[in-house]
A = this chain, B = another copy of it.
Amino acid sequence: MSKGVNLKELSKKLNLSQTTVSRALNGYPEVSAETRRRVSEMAEELGYAPNSQARRLATGRSMAIGHVIPRSIHEMMNPIFLEFIAGAGETYSKHGYDMIISVVEDDHEEDAYRQIASRKKADGVIVHGPTSDERRHKLLKKLNLPFVVHGRIPGAEEETSWIDMNNRRAFERATNLLLDLGHTRIALLNGLEHMDFAKRRRRGFEEALRARGHKPDQALMRSSDMTEPFGCENAMEMLKGDNPPTAFLVSSMISAIGVARAVGQCGLKTGKDVSIITHDDALSFLPNSGEIPIFTCTRSSVRFAGQKAAELLLAMISEPGSKPTSLHLDAELIIGQSTGPAPAR
């Protein structure tokens, strides 16, 4: 039965001052070894645990990190978001931090940050899903709330801390692979292009095409929430059109599964009649591994990104005034079963 002893009671029991007990428990050096031992033992015995609210009030640090998710993000990026969160959460736990998640209506996002700052709910926040006309970083600077961006804020790369994968390069490499395989009609099924990551992916795609003398064809590019039906419906439409693509470059496994479904429904074979390369966030419930992964993919673990983002943020918090840091992860290009040479015409 852990009874809920507090510091006062504990110190009384030990015939020591609260001060000493606190110091002993918090590892201050000036406590004698013997005292420290006695204190820890008794604390253990009485099941003492410091009240976090009290400690937070006293120290002025809330020992929590906030994640604000507007509905729009979580509807769109649902599983990816959780995987990131899971990674970040691991890091927080390790360092004794709590993770606070605020699910808010889209137009209350700023309010949420304001509250976190003014009510001291968290010592820092992670900014998710930066868009092309991002503004949250300005607010956060004004609020003096440390933050790390998952992704990049165009034009503010130098003045903010962020972690991102090399979206442009990943899609450039994927495109080149398809070109090498002889594909020339390549479709792009991208995420919402007001999101920075999606814009970069498109850029990588188009640049690779142009560099090899191909003109990007608007008719072969779509941008939307990365759902399964999005992949299926658009692939279907394109495959049934005149001059259909022989390859698809897709922004998420989920949509790629949809594309594969469309391919099947058209009586074609993935990896033979139609090639697919997808980005793979390494989501645990959608494993794409094995000796030969189902999908050829550009892979970058979003969970790992979460861990790293959290580390970055905690470091910023413990060293206020330090320079912005950023981490640029490179995606791997992994060959799976969904690509093959372009079919002869």
A positions within 8 Å CB-CB of B: 1-2, 4, 47, 49-54, 56-57, 62, 64, 69, 71, 74-76, 78-79, 81-83, 85-86, 89-90, 92-93, 98-104, 114-115, 117-121, 142-143, 225-229, 254, 257, 260-261, 264-265, 283-287, 290, 294
Contact between chains at A118 and B56 (CB < 8 Å): no
Given contacts A118-B4, A257-B228, contact A74 B51 (CB under 8 A): no
Contact between chains at A101 and B99 (CB < 8 Å): yes
The smallest C-beta distance from A1 to any residue of chain B, in angstroms, reads 7
Contact between chains at B103 and A90 (CB < 8 Å): yes
In the bound complex, residues from chain B placing their C-beta under 8 Å from that of A142 are 1
The smallest C-beta distance from A100 to any residue of chain B, in angstroms, reads 5
Contact between chains at B82 and A118 (CB < 8 Å): no
Of A50, A53, A102, most buried by chain B (CB within 10 Å of CB) is A53
Contact between chains at B57 and A53 (CB < 8 Å): yes
Pull 13 A–B residue pairs with CB atoms less than 8 Å apart, ordered by A.
A2-B117, A49-B115, A49-B118, A52-B120, A53-B62, A78-B79, A78-B285, A82-B85, A89-B103, A101-B101, A229-B294, A254-B285, A260-B261
In the bound complex, residues from chain B placing their C-beta under 8 Å from that of A265 are 264
The smallest C-beta distance from A37 to any residue of chain B, in angstroms, reads 22
The smallest C-beta distance from A232 to any residue of chain B, in angstroms, reads 8
In the bound complex, residues from chain B placing their C-beta under 8 Å from that of A1 are 142
Contact between chains at A102 and B100 (CB < 8 Å): no
In the bound complex, residues from chain B placing their C-beta under 8 Å from that of A283 are 78
How far does the alpha carbon of A276 sit from the alpha carbon of B127 in the complex, in Å?
Answer: 40
In the bound complex, residues from chain B placing their C-beta under 8 Å from that of A117 are 2
Contact between chains at B52 and A119 (CB < 8 Å): yes
How far does the alpha carbon of A286 sit from the alpha carbon of B78 in the complex, in Å?
Answer: 10
Given contacts A2-B143, A53-B62, A287-B229, contact A93 B104 (CB under 8 A): yes
Contact between chains at B228 and A286 (CB < 8 Å): yes
How far does the alpha carbon of A107 sit from the alpha carbon of B93 in the complex, in Å?
Answer: 14
The residue on B at minimum CB distance from A91 is B103
Query: Which of B71, B121, B285 contacts A98 (CB under 8 A)?
Result: B121
Contact between chains at B82 and A74 (CB < 8 Å): yes
Of A52, A89, A90, A104, most buried by chain B (CB within 10 Å of CB) is A52
Contact between chains at B119 and A51 (CB < 8 Å): yes
The smallest C-beta distance from A304 to any residue of chain B, in angstroms, reads 14
In the bound complex, residues from chain B placing their C-beta under 8 Å from that of A257 are 228, 257, 261
Given contacts A79-B79, A264-B261, contact A101 B119 (CB under 8 A): no
Given contacts A51-B57, A64-B100, A102-B89, contact A78 B284 (CB under 8 A): yes
How far does the alpha carbon of A162 sit from the alpha carbon of B283 in the complex, in Å?
Answer: 29
Contact between chains at B86 and A74 (CB < 8 Å): yes
Given contacts A227-B286, A284-B75, contact A93 B102 (CB under 8 A): yes
How far does the alpha carbon of A284 sit from the alpha carbon of B82 in the complex, in Å?
Answer: 13
How far does the alpha carbon of A76 sit from the alpha carbon of B287 in the complex, in Å?
Answer: 11
